[in-house]
Amino acid sequence: MQEEKILLSSPHMGTEEIKNIQEAFATNWVAPVGPFINQFEKNLSEYTQVKHAAVVNSGTAAIHLALRILEVGPDDVVLCQSFTFIGSSNPVTYQNAVPVFIDSEKETWNMCPEALETAIKYHLNKGKTPKAIIVVHLYGVPAKMKEITAIADRYEIPIIEDAAEALGSTIDGKACGSFGKFGILSFNGNKIITTSGGGALLSNDENAITQARFLATQAKDTAPHYEHSILGYNYRMSNISAAIGVGQLQVLKDRVKARRENHDFYKKIFGGVEGVEFLKEPQGFYSNRWLSCILIDQPKNPNLSPEPFRKHLERNNIESRPLWKPMHMQPLYKDALYFGGKVSEQLFQKGLCLPSGSNLTSDEKERIKKSIHSFLSK
């Protein structure tokens, strides 16, 4: 009998989610408005300590709304982290603006402050002030926000903080998503908590969040009929999704704990293995360890290379995946400007994400361990 597939990161429901859905049905709030939406927004705002939150139907939509509110338009430059999921940067293209990609630094794998400043100066010299910076906290490890915020403030460029993978992560106790002008979250099915699909826009600017809600509702003006003066979108979250979200947020702490335990589990397995590295947490940084990733230094360990290792796991019905392929290497963005060196390219070549769900059972972990050991002992 084929054993069941062990997934990279699958949904993990608590006990309240289904009760909340039943309540939504019982009260017939099966719509993109309703009490769970208000509740979820309030709880997210309390959790992140950002004054206002608007939930939407994806993290990508939240980034798009942030760009609209910052009035990013045709030919405007937006500085984006190259090493990320494409949902970070595609909204720039939706606005017919120009994404310019920035390399990562080695310590957190996120936006390199020096490369960021170089890119800003390059554009200022051409008389073009970048309209926004989109920084990402990849795999749950916070970016160097102190350095990045100092640069952004110096040149007065607003930050959109993509915390899609980093709900539960902090720097000196302050939540990821609370550092920028805007923070965005994702509740896609593979994230640390999920609403099946969804996202949120966070900001301390009340007007901005009011405007986001307006744009997410087809920019419908106040009138008895349907009146529209500007372009909007249908980006609202369903009350059913929000009902799931309210339950999921209650168990976030447990989910972070379980994912951090996964990370320790892998650190133990690879403890004595030459050439295998993990992402460390710099002083004061706390990661939700959304995905556990390893970097394989091939010259140090010629028997261990990412792709044969991935295939070996796959034969054992265990899912693993290369790290994000940088945006400046994507065919879609081949003509985009890029600032930095080879850090993100090398991460892509050397890295692998391992199964990291908070719902991994001890039997599954045993299977993973055996499979890794059998590859290492070859």
Ligand X SMILES: *Cc1c(COP(=O)(O)O)cnc(C)c1O
Residues that bind ligand X (CB under 6 A): 58-60, 84-85, 87-88, 136, 162, 164-165, 186, 188, 199
Q: Cβ-closest residue to ligand X?
A: 59
Provide CB contacts within 8 A for 86, sequence distance 6+.
327, 330, 332
Number of other residues whose CB lies within 10 A of the CB of residue 124:
12
3-state helix, strand, coil in the chain (%, to 5): 40, 15, 45
Are the C-beta atoms of residues 230 and 217 closer than 8 Å to each other? no
Vertex 260 angle, CA 255 and 262, to 5°:
95
**Cβ 196 to ligand X, closest distance in Å?**
10
52-56 vs 199-203, strand pairing mode = antiparallel
**Cβ 100 to ligand X, closest distance in Å?**
17
Nearer to ligand X, 258 or 323 (CB): 323
Nearer to ligand X, 87 or 113 (CB): 87
**Cβ 177 to ligand X, closest distance in Å?**
12
Nearer to ligand X, 119 or 136 (CB): 136
Tokens of 284: 């004061």
292-296 vs 351-354, strand pairing mode = antiparallel
Nearer to ligand X, 188 or 241 (CB): 188
**Cβ 245 to ligand X, closest distance in Å?**
12
Nearer to ligand X, 91 or 130 (CB): 91
The structure tokens 């704990």 sit at 257
| Secondary structure of residue 246 in the 3-state scheme | helix
123 vs 337: CA distance, rounded Å: 11
Nearer to ligand X, 312 or 321 (CB): 321
DSSP assignment letter at 118: H
**Cβ 184 to ligand X, closest distance in Å?**
7
Are the C-beta atoms of residues 212 and 267 closer than 8 Å to each other? no
Nearer to ligand X, 144 or 367 (CB): 144
**Cβ 255 to ligand X, closest distance in Å?**
16
**Cβ 5 to ligand X, closest distance in Å?**
21
C-alpha distances (whole Å) from 163 to each of 192, 358, 374 are 11, 19, 36
**Cβ 125 to ligand X, closest distance in Å?**
30
**Cβ 241 to ligand X, closest distance in Å?**
11
Torsion sign over Cα 104, 110, 116, 119: positive
Are the C-beta atoms of residues 97 and 77 closer than 8 Å to each other? yes
292-296 vs 174-175, strand pairing mode = unpaired
Nearer to ligand X, 130 or 199 (CB): 199
Nearer to ligand X, 21 or 237 (CB): 237
Q: Where do the H-state alpha helices sit in 134-251? A: 145-154, 206-215, 239-250
